[in-house]
Every structure is written in structure tokens, then in C-alpha cells.
Amino acid sequence: MMFGLLKGLGVTLRQIPKKNVTLQYPDVKPDWPDRFRGVHKFYPEKCIVCNQCARVCPTSCISLSGTRGEDKKMHIETYDINFEICILCDLCTEVCPTEAIQMTDTFELAEYSRDALFKNIEWLAENGRQHDARKGKSDDQANHDAKAADKAGEQ
Amino acid sequence: MAELRTEEMLLNVGPQHPSTHGVLRVVIKLDGEIIREATPVIGYLHRGTEKLSEDLQYQQIIPYFDRLDYISAMLNNHAIVNAVEKAMDIEIPERAEYLRVIVGELNRTAAHLLFVGAYLLDLGAMSPFLYVFMTRERIIELLNEISGARLTYNYMRVGGVKYDAPPGWFAKIREFIPYFKEMYQLFDDLITGNEIFISRVKGIGSYGQEEAINYGLSGIPLRSTGFKWDLRKNKSYSVYDRFDFEIPVGTNGDNYDRYYLHLLEMEQSMRIVEQAIDSIPEGPVMGKAPKILRIPAGEYYAAVEGAKGELGVYIVSDGKDKPYRMKIRRPSFVNLQIIPSLLKDQNIADFIAILGSIDIVLGEVDA
């Protein structure tokens, strides 16, 4: 009659000597895989103002503007992402032809005001610098080269 | 002595109730402890996915599908890309098909695990939930590694999948499978034989096969009545016809059968994953698909077996790159329909046990 209950109790007893599986966040940060889609980083010098990221965005959270410089090339002037509505779907980084916009492993987006979720070009570039410093530039370069090789292979 | 005056009591369960698994309100009329009438009120999580889709290109719709049944987003991804591919007659590479099956079945296991944990939590058992989350976390980590997100994967594309598996990923699944089998045994020990659990679920909330079909149920709520209907077998899509697996069915259509089928299905899903990682072919993961997807004018329907039942996508196209109208057949929404007749004349103590066993996700009910 009580056999099932005792069996369940056995499971509990077997668990006692085992190690904890939880992580002491925020003291210990999770170790995200390379592909993790966190907040974006942006390289202004790479951007060619093709507007593809803004067009493909399902929630239209990207707005950008640029001017044509003296060297007849387009230069980015403003680049804003509204993280109130961004769903981190990664479509913008997928269409970017120069890898100017990429995802990082930053994921802590809590702010005290909604306006603070509106991130501009400086913030995104700074996030990129921090991420590169964290990951090591060589690592990022290798990743970039691998992606470029992939794109060359597709064509 | 005057007779005691009695009256029916109206009770709102939800929308903020821990056991309605989201924002569902059920208005129940009580006669003492007996439920005389139950009316689900839905729409608290309505985002208008179908209407939004009319203004989005097909590749932009995929992230919105992640957010329908958010605990099995891979299967939702499969539903939309499968529908678009069928409509446009796009061939996709073998390796991509296998990857879709692997991630889909892993995700189905994760969704069923969550059901088992949450259902037991509804019935007042705390510890199974913790064991379930330990196991589910391993699957979520695997899917995070391949797709880059823990819940909203956005992994499949029309014409294939976004990424190939990272190095060492298949080895990690091979490590996970024995761990899963061990945990499966543990769930069986901890839950299935437990006398308290059995007295809460056995013979409660049962319905017949005919009633289930009349209500249009699919998935486990239908199979629990003994009706063998699984789209992976009956209307095979992707590469499911190449794997050897069974469709477990119940007999009584009660809470216990629905709970136990979730366990049995996880075992079958793992069998598929095991076979798929052994036989996955080499090759590209993205086939030839046009950059701008234009479905020829007409009407198309394609369905996959989601975690909750038949997840279908009906597309009406007028030849543009956006759907003219998109209807999503959401299994949770259809399965919820049986609730009023199922709860009628039941004890209020069984309310949560019955509602939980139907396994609804409100993101999918409200879309």
C-alpha cells in the first residue's frame, strides 16, 4: 500500500550526497556558448548604410541614418536600437553584408526607465569594445574569418 | 426550523492563478463543492500573431512563431517553415531535415518534461519539479548551443536551418541520452507508483474517443482515449518515416493516461534522436531558396505534430511576399474547448488536476 511512497523517499535520500546544480548568479555569471544571442554590438567603421538590418527587423526596432562622405562612400551617423521592442531574433546580423552589427553575450538589460532602453550608436560601439576585450580580439577575428569563409563558400 | 437557503456561487479562477499556466480565467459556478458550469475566458495574452503576419515577410514570421507555444519553439519553427516549403515546393538538404528532427524531438522532450513537473506541482508535489528542471536544463543548454537562445530559438529557415551543429554537439547528446534514461527511471519511481498521485488522477477527468474526436482534439488528449493519431506517422513529413518509433496510446482517457503518455512519448522521442544522430548524413544545411519568398497565389495547409497536438499553418497567398491571410491551427486552443464539458459536475478539488492534464500553453491559446 505504501510501497510507492517509500520508493519516492528513496529517490530523495539518494539525492542528499550529490552536488548542487544551481549557479550562484549574480556572483557567478553563466558561461554562454559562442552563438548566444545577447544585446548587439556595432562597428560604425564597418557599416555601409545599406539599411538591410532596419528593413528585415520584424519589430522595426532599428533606425539609422548616414551621409555620403567626400570619398563617395556612405558613413553611418546615427544608429539606434529600441530594446523595448527588440526580440533578439538575430535577423539583422544575418543580413548584414559587412558584419557591422553582431550579437554579444551581454544579456542584463534591466533599466530604471524605459528611455534608457533606447540604445544609440555610442552605447552599441562601447558594448562592442567591452565584448571584444572580454573575448579577446583574436577570438573574434577568427570567428569573423570563419563566417567570411562560410559566405564565400555559399556563393 | 426553517430550511437553509442555498445558492450557486460564482468563482473566478485566474487570470492570475498559479495553476492556470499563464493568464487564463475560468469562471466556475459552484453548487457546494460541485462545479455546475465552467467557462474559460481567453485573450489576456493575445498579440494578434495572425494579423501581424499579414504585414511581415515569411522569414520575419519565424520569430513570431517562437512566441506561440514558447516551451516548444523548435516545433513551431518547423510548422511555419514546413508550410512555406510545401507551398513553394522547396527541396531542403538531408542534413537540415535530420537536424530539424533532432532539435524538434529534443524540444518535445523538454516540453513534456515541463508538463510533468508543472502538473505535479499543480497537484502539490514539489520535488518532481526540481528533478524535471535539472533534466530540462540539459536539453535547453544543448539547444542554446546550436541556436543561440534558450527559449525563442529562431533556428529554422525556409530552405534549411540556420547553423550546422557546433563541434562536439552530437557527442554531448550521446552523453545526455543515458542521463535521460536514468532520470526517466527516477520519474517513474518518484511519481508513477505514488499512491497519493494515483488517487488524484486515476479515473478522473475521463472522456471517450467519440467525444474527443467531436471536439477536434489532437495530440496526447486524443491519444489518451486510445485513438492512434500522430502526424509523424499518419501524415509523415520531414524524414520521420525513416525512424523506428511507436505511438503510445492510452485506454481510459483520464488524467493518469495523459500524464503517463507524456512519459512514454519522451522515451520515443529519445529513440528518434538516438537513431537520427547515428544516421545523420554530411552535407550543407541550407538549400537553394530564393532571397525573397513569394508563394504562388492560392491556399495551402500543412501541419506538424507539435508538443500539444496538430500544429497547422493555413496560408492564403495572393502571390506577394507576405501572406494575404494566415490562420494558425493552435492545438492548445482547440484542446481547451473540451474544458467546459469536462469540468461539469466535477468536484472543485479536481479542477486543477483536470485543467493541468489537458496541457495548455497560453501563448498558443491566445496567439
ipTM for the assembly = 0.81
The predicted structure's pLDDT at residue A71 = 82
Pairing between β-strand B298-305 and β-strand B160-161 as defined by DSSP bridges: unpaired
Instruction: Give the residue from chain B lying closest to A104, CA to CA.
Output: B148
CB B114 within 8 A of CB B107: no
The predicted model gives B22-28 an average pLDDT of: 88
Q: Do residue B137 and residue A37 have CB atoms under 8 angstroms apart?
A: no
CA distances from A113 to A72, A84, A109, B295 (A): 40, 11, 11, 43
Interface test with A, best of B65, B145, B183 (most A CBs within 10 A): B145
CB-closest option in A11, A34, A88 to B189: A11
Q: Name residues 328-367 of chain B within 8 A of A (Cβ).
A: none
Instruction: Give the residue from chain A lying closest to B182, CA to CA.
Output: A11
CA distances from A101 to A4, A90, B56, B156, B305 (A): 56, 10, 22, 21, 36
CB A88 within 8 A of CB A112: no
Q: Distance from A154 to chain B by nearest Cα, in Å?
A: 9
CB-closest option in A4, A34, A57 to B194: A4
Q: Do residue A32 and residue B195 have CB atoms under 8 angstroms apart?
A: no
Number of domains in chain B: 1
Q: Do residue A88 and residue B152 have CB atoms under 8 angstroms apart?
A: yes
CB A53 within 8 A of CB A61: no
Res. A151: pLDDT tops 60: no
Q: Do residue A56 and residue B59 have CB atoms under 8 angstroms apart?
A: yes
Res. B112: pLDDT tops 60: yes
Q: Do residue B189 and residue A88 have CB atoms under 8 angstroms apart?
A: no
Q: Which domain holds residue B324?
A: 53-366
pLDDT over 70 for what percent of chain A? 86
In DSSP terms, which residues pair with B327 in a beta bridge?
B314
What residues in B contact A90, CB-CB < 8 Å? 148, 154
DSSP state of B208: -
Tens digit of pLDDT for each residue in B32-88? 889 999 999 988 889 999 999 999 999 899 999 999 889 999 999 999 999 999 999
Cα-based angle B177, B180, B181 (whole degrees, multiple of 5): 90
Q: Does B60 touch chain A (CB under 8 A)?
A: yes
Q: Do residue B148 and residue A36 have CB atoms under 8 angstroms apart?
A: yes
Q: All 3 cell numbers of residue B242? A: 525513416
Q: Do residue A87 and residue B152 have CB atoms under 8 angstroms apart?
A: yes
Tens digit of pLDDT for each residue in B285-301? 888 888 888 899 999 99
- Dihedral pair phi/psi, residue A41, rounded to 5°: -125, 155
What residues in A contact B137, CB-CB < 8 Å? 21
The predicted model gives B111-121 an average pLDDT of: 91
* B139 assigned to some structural domain: yes
Q: Do residue A58 and residue B186 have CB atoms under 8 angstroms apart?
A: no
Query: How far is C-alpha A60 from the chain's CA centre?
Result: 17
The predicted structure's pLDDT at residue A154 = 46
The domain that holds B108 is classified in CATH as: 1.10.645.10
* B114 assigned to some structural domain: yes
Q: What is the DSSP string of A31-96?
A: ---TT---SEEE-TTT-----HHHHH-TT--EEEEEEE-TTS-EEEEEEEEETTT-----HHHHH-
What residues in B contact A103, CB-CB < 8 Å? 148
- Dihedral pair phi/psi, residue A112, rounded to 5°: -85, -20
Q: Do residue A8 and residue B198 have CB atoms under 8 angstroms apart?
A: no
Q: What is the pTM of this model?
A: 0.89
d(CA A132, CA B118) in angstroms, rounded, equals 40
Q: All 3 cell numbers of residue B70? A: 514558447
* B116 assigned to some structural domain: yes
The predicted structure's pLDDT at residue B197 = 87
* B346 assigned to some structural domain: yes
A145 or A76, which is more confident?
A76
d(CA B83, CA A34) in angstroms, rounded, equals 31
Question: pLDDT averaged over chain B?
Answer: 90
The predicted structure's pLDDT at residue A155 = 42
The predicted model gives A134-153 an average pLDDT of: 57
- HSE-CB of B217 using CA atoms within 13 angstroms: 30
Instruction: Give the residue from chain A lying closest to B169, CA to CA.
Output: A33
Q: Do residue A12 and residue B127 have CB atoms under 8 angstroms apart?
A: yes
Res. B326: pLDDT tops 80: yes
The predicted structure's pLDDT at residue A153 = 46
Nearest-Å Rg of the Cα atoms of chain A is: 22
Enclosing H/E stretch for B329:
strand B325-329
* B350 assigned to some structural domain: yes
* B117 assigned to some structural domain: yes
Q: Does B185 touch chain A (CB under 8 A)?
A: no
Instruction: Give the residue from chain B lying closest to A91, CA to CA.
Output: B60
* B281 assigned to some structural domain: yes
**Of B205, B243, B237, B208, which Cα lies nearest the Cα of B351?**
B205
Q: Do residue A8 and residue B194 have CB atoms under 8 angstroms apart?
A: yes
Tens digit of pLDDT for each residue in A34-71? 889 989 999 988 888 888 999 999 999 999 998 888 88
Among B10-19, B198-207, B281-290, the range scoring the smallest mean pLDDT is B10-19
Q: Do residue A5 and residue B162 have CB atoms under 8 angstroms apart?
A: no
pLDDT over 90 for what percent of chain B? 50
* B20 assigned to some structural domain: no
CB-closest option in A11, A91, A154 to B190: A11
Interface A-B: count of C-beta contacts within 8 A: 74
Q: Does B147 touch chain A (CB under 8 A)?
A: yes
d(CA A116, CA A123) in angstroms, rounded, equals 11
- CB count within 10 Å of CB B155 equals 26
